[in-house]
Amino acid sequence: MKSIIKLYMLIFVSFISLNSFAGDKDFQGVIVYNITYPESNLDAQTMAMMPTTMKMTVKGTMNKVEISMAMGTTIMIFDAATDKGTTLMQMMGQKFAIPMDKESIEEGAKNIDSVNVQFIDETKDIVGYSCKKAVVSSIIDGKKYELIAWFTEELGDGSTNALDPLYEDIKGVLMEFSTIESGMTMKMEVVKVEKKKVSEKEFEIPEGYKEITTDQLQNMFGGGY
């Protein structure tokens, strides 16, 4: 159980650096991603507890990401206008709120080095949107990786990538992409895009959450690193 919780902490840190950034100024609505784990060596029990979907709600500079896992739900809310946000976690019957700012998000991505993006003259359709291809080469945790990303310019200018060192040079909304955390590949692919008006209430912090730091959360459930 402790190893599973530690893995959840790694995923949590990864999603902070990957998804809690500026909402795209040109898009308002909901984007739903499927999450898969290609070439994973996780056992069947652990794999069954991993997140399989990610829902991103965007309005103006506001961004809300919801990830459901077997042990609880994680919600990340971030306002690009202030470069601040909050991660809400429900885990093992407890509710936690972890404050975020630009510095803490960048700290979560400090294991990424030497990023090079090559744009390829290829396109493909993802849920009705024409997507362009990019090959991202990087060193992550001291190991070389080559990641494939597909992005569209039809939903915005790519401001959603502003704080992600792997994809910050891509000027479009990521529709299919991967991230690496502790040697494990997580692949995200859009399965639904819904343009609609979003209420300001979507980004309000509910009551009943205890404010703690990421380090405190790791020490409570993961035993530190």
Residue 104 makes CB contacts below 8 A (sequence gap 6+) with 16, 214
pLDDT over 50 (residue 21)? no
| φ, ψ of residue 7 in degrees (nearest 5) | -65, -40
pLDDT at 168 (0 to 100): 81
User: What is the fold of 2-222?
Assistant: outer membrane lipoprotein receptor (LolB), chain A (2.50.20)
Percentages helix, strand, coil for the chain (3-state, rounded to 5) are 20, 50, 30
How far apart are the C-alpha atoms of 50 and 52, rounded to whole Å?
Answer: 6
Average pLDDT, the chain: 80
pLDDT digits (tens, 9 = 90+) for 74-129: 888 888 778 788 989 887 788 999 888 777 666 666 667 778 999 999 999 999 99
